[in-house]
Chains A and B, each alone.
Chain A
């Protein structure tokens, strides 16, 4: 058992809470309890999971596992006893939650309102299930509490009486949410009733929580509150700035509901923190965020789980308590990390079958995490249900009604068989999304194809299948789905030109792709990744300034776009702006930790900032996420060997490089007419094998031959030919160097020549007047050389030798010796190399 850091852990779930809404309230001093915790804790974004469906997500938080392992697959499930559907039930969870593990370890837990937690599990402690606060009757006196709501018999009476009925809500209680309450005509407008319902349920959960905290001993306490999510779904459209489709009066009346609910949560938080005591570790997390800016949607498509389109993929996370860093940030956290981190706080081992990781950077001192294969394989009492309890159908109906009202599920209607069938489709959808996450694309494709053919009007099935086909480069199939999407009336928000652009880009037509993206931009598709796609195209076209502009636009629309930060960082890296590049790549990692390229390029940026240990750490992290990458091992070999003087690690990385390297190739490069053919001829004379198809025969411009290979000219489309050049020398013009494959070691001899001579020689070769100097082309060549100079700095599998053409002609012995030393592994014949230099060929003198 590891070292127990926390005496107690209080985990507070704020469904849908988002820093975007919280930060202005903190700035205005309206959330002082949260502010206090922030100042003495660690905060960060927390990445949600796909699909972002709350019961699925909260179960991942409690188990550290994705839905395919934990078994909670949606809001509802087929009712095995009575047909039809029922709200998702905890008995469908097929793995242990934190509180089951704590029960096994002799610890006490209280769990209040967790979704799903009904029927309450018989753990050591008190479980108040997620049916506790649900109101089934407008008459308070007839308010029933279903069996299985409270696990602890002795607490039932007290907790029963702490439920708060909506009829108890007064105008004074609603005023902080709706200051202009008297302007509402409640005969026509039932939105106030909605707020009263949400508020009453929140008060029920909070009252139960404080009672349990005051009256029981506990090691772990989990409290789940859904009010922020619910008011956001109902009222975020009314907050400022006013959306076009919202009337002035609605905006005025309802603009404060969301803010009011956050403030109320802060007030409740103050009490919870007080009751928990100083020595308690407090974690506040949401399961996803909520768009509250220009990304708010005016209308939602008509499909199940449509409200999830309003979810921001990044929620809020905070941890504060003994042993936790103060006033710091955590980067790259995921919902899956919460359970392993809490286990580590208690010094308990983490299951290797958990999908998350311990958030190691939040601790003041490094902690040692113990692991076991799986908690599922441990025998003993885990406080789980011994047999499936009977669901109370009456209460199920009420819970279902709420889900329908929130728009999360369709009204199941009277047809029980159809409703059960649809619940099955939703479960399949959830599993298929996870198959994508796990990169099981074939299975995911088959699932989505099945769902698509069941209901071609469901936008989600269309979108998932479209994206999957694009990912698998099945463009014909993708185009068919795009055509189908055009026939769905409420698919307008999808911005179909965006997908046309992606297809064009993948089919190699970057210019056409840019046109489509610009069209999608005009259609108002900002914030849906259009500028990221444009940026990626500019990156590919090596137009780094334009790329930076595009990625910056994306960040203006979505400050949480890890791809935009990544693109910005890579663009700056290519411009050798290393400090900014490192910052942006760190931002990208902070948002999504598991995107390997960000770590790789961060390593490159840090190397050039001479932060060698940090660079090594970045490459090591990259290799954990993406093993078997030659270039990363090359960088590490260099860093450990030259800068950190760690011989052991240098050798390890060298060995990996040797294993991964598919060959070594000599490249002779430079601008056309810079002396590359001459160098090829020198190498050939020196006994080095040449990779050429000899198709282009010698002529007046190159009397001794061109030494070219037609396949090399197609490098940008197909670079597989380079593997055939293993151990040989190959001529590649400067503009094509970037397309060389990664898994090969290169020794590049780069030929330089006076630009005037190059232009003159090219003019002559093209049969043009050599006395006319093409300035524009010369400028473009100069820019290309400058770009290449920066590009070389970013490569780890390239050794570079710069050779000046005129030096070879003037002092062949010196330059040839230099070249021979560079190629000593190939054992070239030096005298023969020198004899190859023909000064007579040096004809294009400066004009």
Chain B
């Protein structure tokens, strides 16, 4: 049962095959988590990236 969205973390492919870029808020959103493991991973990735950015700024 593989779906097309396997492991693509910051955009997803709609049922019509269209690629949609996800604008993930760093605070998260329920809709993303309702999307399941992909949404959770995408949010965590975003959080990590934001943290990295903050760290860089601090440096």
Residues of A that sit less than 8 Å from B by CB = 162, 164, 168, 170-173, 176, 203, 206-211, 213-218, 264, 267-268, 270-271, 274-275, 277
Main secondary structure of the interface of A (DSSP, over half): helix
- Shortest beta-carbon distance from A401 to chain B in Å: 25
Considering only CB atoms, which chain B residue lies closest to A217 in the complex?
A: B1
Taken together as a complex, chains A and B put the C-alpha atoms of A15 and B33 apart, in Å, by: 20
Q: State whether the Cβ of B36 lies closer than 8 Å to any Cβ in chain A.
A: yes
Known: A207-B37, A214-B6. A176 touches B1 (CB 8 A): no
Give CA–CA (A171, B15) in the complex, Å. 31
| A639 and B50 alpha carbons, distance in the complex (Å) | 78
For B5-41 the 0/1 string (1 means CB < 8 A from A) is 1100000000100000000010111110111111010
Q: A164-B40, A267-B30 are in contact. List 16 more A-B contacts (CB 8 A).
A: A168-B28, A171-B27, A172-B25, A172-B27, A173-B33, A210-B36, A210-B37, A211-B36, A214-B2, A216-B1, A264-B30, A267-B34, A268-B36, A271-B35, A274-B3, A275-B3
A369 to chain B, nearest CB (A): 28
Looking at the complex, which one of A168, A173, A215, A267 makes contact with B2 (CB distance below 8 Å)? A215
Contacts of B40 in A (CB 8 A): 162, 164, 203, 207
- Output the residue of B2, B27, B37 with the most chain A CB within 10 A: B37
A216 and B1 CA atoms in complex are apart in Å by 6
Q: Is B28 touching A211 in the complex (CB atoms < 8 A)? A: no
Residues of B within 8 A of A213 (CB): 1
Specify the main secondary structure of chain B where it touches its partner: loop
Are B1 and A172 in contact, CB atoms less than 8 angstroms apart? no
Q: How far is the CA of A214 from the CA of B15 in the complex (A)?
A: 15
Question: B34, A170: Cβ atoms under 8 Å?
Answer: no
Cα(A216)–Cα(B37), bound, Å: 14
Please judge, given known A-B contacts A214-B1, A214-B3, A217-B1, whether A267 and B31 are in contact too, CB under 8 Å.
yes
Residue of A nearest to B3 (CB): A214
Which chain B residues lie closer than 8 Å to A264 at the CB level?
30, 34
* Cβ contacts under 8 Å, A210 to chain B: 35-38
Do residues A277 and B34 form an inter-chain contact, with CB atoms below 8 A?
no
A164 to B36, CA, bound (A): 11
- Which residues in B have their C-beta under 8 angstroms from that of A218? 1
Contact of A206 among B5, B25, B33 (CB under 8 A): B33
A270 engages B34 (CB within 8 Å):
yes
In the complex, what distance in Å separates the CA atom of A512 from the CA atom of B58? 83
Cα distance A272–B12 in the bound complex, in angstroms: 16
Specify which of A203, A209, A213, A218 lies most central, judged by the most chain B CB atoms within 10 Å of its CB.
Answer: A203
What CA separation (Å) do A168 and B38 show in the bound complex?
A: 16
Set of chain B residues within 8 Å of A214, measured between Cβ atoms: 1-3, 5-6, 37
Nearest CB of chain A from residue B29's CB, rounded to whole Å? 6
- A214-B1, A215-B2 known; A162 and B37 CB under 8 Å? yes
List the count of A-B residue pairs having beta carbons below 8 Å apart: 64
Given A213-B1, A216-B1, A173 contacting B37 (CB threshold 8 A): no
Assess A173 versus B1: contact at CB under 8 Å? Given A203-B40, A208-B37: no
CB neighbours of B27 from chain A (8 A):
170-173
Question: Which A residues touch B34, using CB under 8 A?
Answer: 206, 264, 267-268, 270-271
A210-B12 Cα distance, complex, nearest whole Å: 15
Q: Give, as a whole number of angstroms, the nearest-CB distance from A350 to chain B.
A: 27
The answer to whether B36 and A271 touch across the interface, beta carbons within 8 angstroms, is yes
Chain A residue contacts of B1, Cβ below 8 A = 213-218, 275, 277
- Give A275 to B12 CA distance when docked, in angstroms: 14
CA separation between A268 and B28, bound complex, in Å? 16
Contacts of A215 in B (CB 8 A): 1-2
A203 to chain B, nearest CB (A): 5
A195 shortest CB reach to chain B, Å: 12
Complex CA–CA separation, A282 to B30 (angstroms): 23
CA distance in complex: A168, B28 (Å): 9
Whether the Cβ atoms of A170 and B30 lie closer than 8 Å is no
* Chain A residues whose C-beta falls within 8 Å of the C-beta of B25 in the assembled complex: 172
Chain A residues with Cβ under 8 A from B36's Cβ?
Answer: 206-207, 209-211, 268, 271, 275
Residues of B within 8 A of A203 (CB): 33, 40
Question: How near does chain B come to A817, taking the closest CB pair, in angstroms?
Answer: 82
Give bound CA distance, A428 to B2, whole Å. Answer: 47
Chain B residue contacts of A277, Cβ below 8 A: 1
Measured in the bound complex, the distance between the Cα atoms of B15 and A277 in whole Å is 11
Cβ contacts under 8 Å, A207 to chain B: 33, 36-37, 40
With A214-B3, A275-B1, A275-B3 as known contacts, state yes or no: A172 contacts B37, CB within 8 Å.
no
Query: With A171-B27, A217-B1 known to touch, is A211 a contact of B37 (CB < 8 Å)?
Result: yes
Q: Are A172 and B29 in contact (CB under 8 A)?
A: yes
Residues of chain A lying within 8 A (CB to CB) of residue B5: 214
Contacts known (A214-B3, A216-B1, A275-B3); A176 close to B30, Cβ less than 8 A: yes
Residue of A with least CB distance to B5: A214
Q: How far is the CA of A203 from the CA of B32 in the complex (A)?
A: 11
CB of B15 to closest CB in A, whole Å: 8
Question: Which chain B residue lies CB-closest to A218?
Answer: B1
The 19 listed contacts between A and B (C-beta, < 8 Å) are A162-B37, A164-B33, A168-B28, A170-B27, A172-B29, A173-B30, A173-B33, A206-B34, A207-B37, A214-B1, A214-B2, A214-B37, A264-B30, A267-B34, A270-B34, A274-B15, A275-B3, A275-B36, A277-B1
> Which residues of the partner chain A approach B31 to less than 8 Å between Cβ atoms?
267
| Contact of A172 with B28 in the complex, beta carbons under 8 Å | yes
Task: Assess the B29–A173 pair: CB atoms within 8 A.
Answer: yes
Roughly how many angstroms separate A677 CA and B37 CA in the complex, as a whole number?
87
Q: Which 3 A-B pairs have the closest CB atoms?
A: A210-B36, A267-B34, A172-B27
How far in angstroms is the closest Cβ of chain A from B51? 13
Q: How far is the CB of B54 from chain A (nearest CB, A)?
A: 16
Bound Cα distance from A264 to B28, whole angstroms? 14
Complex: how many Å from CA A264 to CA B25?
Answer: 18
* A208 nearest CB neighbor, chain B only: B37
Residue from B3, B6, B35, B40 with most neighbouring chain A CB atoms (10 Å): B40
Which residues of chain B are within 8 angstroms of A267 by Cβ–Cβ distance? Answer: 30-31, 34
A825–chain B nearest beta-carbon distance, Å: 72
Q: How far is the CB of B5 from chain A (nearest CB, A)?
A: 8
